[in-house]
Amino acid sequence: MNLLRHQSNYKILDLIGQGQFGKVFAAVELNSGALVALKELKTKQLSTSSFLRELTFLVTLDHFNLVTCKALEHGQNQRYIVMDYCEGGTLRTLLNNSIPLTLNQSLKLVIDILSGLKFAHEQGIIHRDLKPENILLKTSDRSYTAHIADFGIAKLKQEVDSQNILGNTGSPAYMAPEQFYGEYSYNCDLYGVGIILYELVTGNRPFSGMPKELLAAHLSQAVKISSDIPLLLRLAISKSLEKLPSRRYQTAAEMLESLELVQAILEVDPNPQTPIRVKSNFADLVPADQSILDAPISHLAIPSRRQSLSATEQVYLVSGDRLVIQRHQNPNLSREIVADREITLNQSIQSLQFSSTGCLITTVSSLYYLSQDNNLHPFPTESNQLIATIDPQGFWLGVAHNSENSGKFRVEIYKLPDCQLQRSLIRDRVCQSAIALDSRYGLGIHQTQPQNTTFQLFNRRGNLLANFNVQIRLDSIIYHPLFPYRLLATEVDNPNMVILITLKKFHLKRISLEIAPMVMQPCPQGYLISDRQGKMIILDEYGECIGRFKIPLSSEFEVTAIAASTSELLVASASLSRSQLQRFSAKHLLIADSYI
């Protein structure tokens, strides 16, 4: 979908939000492939003067913690402001997560907000509508950065001083008492920041109800703050939420300095206060079967029915350079094996990737395609730097490798299932890994700087379409064919965290875990994650936990591979001298325990 005129510099990808004055789209800058946000302004609901007002504010407010204007774009009967894209979503989305933030994380976000607000106030601009929905997030190393957006009803201080302003006054839950009567000052914004800080720290707003009830509460109801919150932070929240403007912080700089002091104290406190949460229990699973193996298993797979190369259930087991394919007569993967095929290659197998037409097998420098009729097709490769991916729907596969030691890379696109070469390209550089998303598109992934990861969207002809850049370092990445355009990844140096990446409305969601993920695999219910000791978690397609369990494992064993079907869970583990394979019934997996 492209709503812009033909000669536009941008192509609209998807709708990502809608507000009072228009829609917001994710779009790609055609020249660079960079991702931007296009804010469409409704001509009937927003006058030219109002449009120019917000544009003036955005151009004036050039600060890291403010969503800035990059350009102005005119479409057919439409006007757009081109803005920074914030892939972390809104602060409201983060607040709605089931796992609360720590005090330090909360303080960092509010300090970001105050830094941006301090700059806006220095330019004489009062925002008037600070709330979590208007705070956008970008990912950074192990955290988020906050950026103030939506200056649609902002006012200059001199305008406020010269008139009483009613209408479009803000959001009642976050409005200072005097805002209900059309009175504004800089510390009206600080009162809104105080409400946000209270909500981040406690998980709830101080007042709730309908607008009239909120008005009464803001005017006269005392703010209650738990004694579990550190004293200095309680004092800061209380001061920001004083009923009388003269008793509140008078400037963003003053409130910023106060919270930076609280943050400094918390950082050196050996026992920092964090939100209370009840840890979930991991249910014990009892194996239905357990067998001793002659060698450790590095990869396990149970292809889904649409990916299976046979009408019967199949299990793929990789050990070194050997691939064993077991075919079972019934879907319960009983110990009775109807057929057993073994393939031995000349190098250790690095990965298995499945499609509806076959299986892609990758070693360090070799590539093979195992078709539905069990023919093994080798591909010519030129180097040890081999990257390959296969379309889950079985239409194409892509291969990238060094081209004759020239420093350049050859990218080849093959048509499936006959493995016919469709296109060969030479590139100056190539991504470090690639994922075929569907029959039309693929995704390249590489580290551009020590703390940056770049995603490159390309089509099946190898043409680059868009770049998505995030300030995090990703490690393991898996793609679930049942959940198109979503990835699950681990983060370098952040051991108890996974990141759910939604590509269409480019968004990153950090998910805290009670385990350190070592093995991740798609499963029918979502994503199956295991640590070394056999504690496992199942996340659904939205990143919500729907199952927690642990398997019996001796202390000397570590999990090496996992796989699950609708009926069975397989877990391979090994010690220094022994290896084993355990089978469990899948009906006991979805045992969820929620945080309180």
SS3 labels along 395-418 = CEEEEEEECCCCCCEEEEEEECCC
Question: Which region, left, alpha or beta, applies to residue 412 given φ > 0 means left and ψ of -120 to 50 means alpha?
Answer: beta
Domain shared by 29 and 124, yes or no: no
Q: Which domain holds residue 31?
A: 10-83
Domain shared by 175 and 209, yes or no: yes
Q: Is 49 inside any structural domain? A: yes
pLDDT for position 2: 44
**CATH number of residue 62's parent domain:** 3.30.200.20
Domain shared by 222 and 95, yes or no: yes
d(CA 541, CA 365): 34
Q: Is 232 inside any structural domain? A: yes
Place of tokens 């997030």: 137
Q: Is 164 inside any structural domain? A: yes
pLDDT for position 259: 96
Q: State how many domains the chain has.
A: 2
Bridge partner list, 396: 415
Beta pairing class for 322-328 and 313-319: antiparallel
d(CA 200, CA 97): 11
Tens digit of pLDDT at every position of the chain (596 positions) = 344 444 678 888 888 887 666 788 988 888 877 889 998 876 555 556 666 666 666 677 889 999 888 888 876 667 788 888 999 999 999 998 867 788 999 999 999 999 999 999 998 888 888 999 999 999 887 789 999 988 765 555 545 444 555 444 678 999 999 988 888 888 899 999 999 999 999 999 999 889 889 999 999 999 999 988 999 999 999 999 999 999 999 999 999 999 999 999 887 764 545 444 445 689 899 999 999 999 999 999 998 765 554 556 789 999 999 999 988 766 554 556 666 889 999 899 999 999 998 999 999 889 999 998 888 999 887 666 788 999 999 999 999 887 556 667 888 999 998 899 999 988 877 688 899 999 999 999 988 777 788 888 899 888 888 888 888 889 899 999 999 899 999 998 888 899 999 988 888 999 989 999 999 999 998 999 999 999 999 999 999 999 999 999 999 999 999 999 988 899 999 999 999 999 998 876 765 443 32
Bridge partner list, 585: 568
DSSP-derived secondary structure for 243-303: SSGGGS-SSHHHHHHHHHHHHHHHHH-SS------PPPP-EEP--SEEEEESS---EEE--
pLDDT for position 4: 46
Domain shared by 202 and 116, yes or no: yes
95 membership: H or E segment, kind and range: helix 91-95
Q: Is 227 inside any structural domain? A: yes
Q: Is 131 inside any structural domain? A: yes
| Per-residue pLDDT reduced to its tens digit, 319-359 | 999 999 988 766 554 556 666 889 999 899 999 999 998 99
Eight-class DSSP state of 587: G
pLDDT for position 338: 60
**Contact at 8 Å (CB) between 84 and 125?**
no
Domain shared by 79 and 151, yes or no: no
d(CA 325, CA 301): 10
Domain shared by 54 and 169, yes or no: no
**Contact at 8 Å (CB) between 582 and 573?**
yes
| Per-residue pLDDT reduced to its tens digit, 270-322 | 454 544 444 568 989 999 999 999 999 999 999 876 555 455 678 999 999 99
Query: What residues contact 290, with CB distance under 8 A and at least 6 apart?
Result: 580, 581, 582, 583
pLDDT for position 572: 97
Domain shared by 128 and 234, yes or no: yes
Domain boundary among 83, 102, 134: 83
Domain shared by 172 and 74, yes or no: no
Domain boundary among 64, 83, 102: 83
Per-residue 3-state assignment (H helix, E strand, C coil) for 18-32: EECCEEEEEEEECCC
pTM of the shown model: 0.84
For the chain, give the mean pLDDT. Answer: 84
Domain boundary among 83, 108, 133: 83
Q: Is 518 inside any structural domain? A: no
Q: Is 258 inside any structural domain? A: yes
Domain shared by 124 and 255, yes or no: yes
Q: Which value, in Å, is the radius of gyration of the alpha carbons in the chain?
A: 28
Domain shared by 15 and 69, yes or no: yes
Domain shared by 43 and 165, yes or no: no
**CATH number of residue 102's parent domain:** 1.10.510.10
Q: Is 244 inside any structural domain? A: yes
Domain shared by 72 and 134, yes or no: no
Query: What residues contact 52, with CB distance under 8 A and at least 6 apart?
Result: none
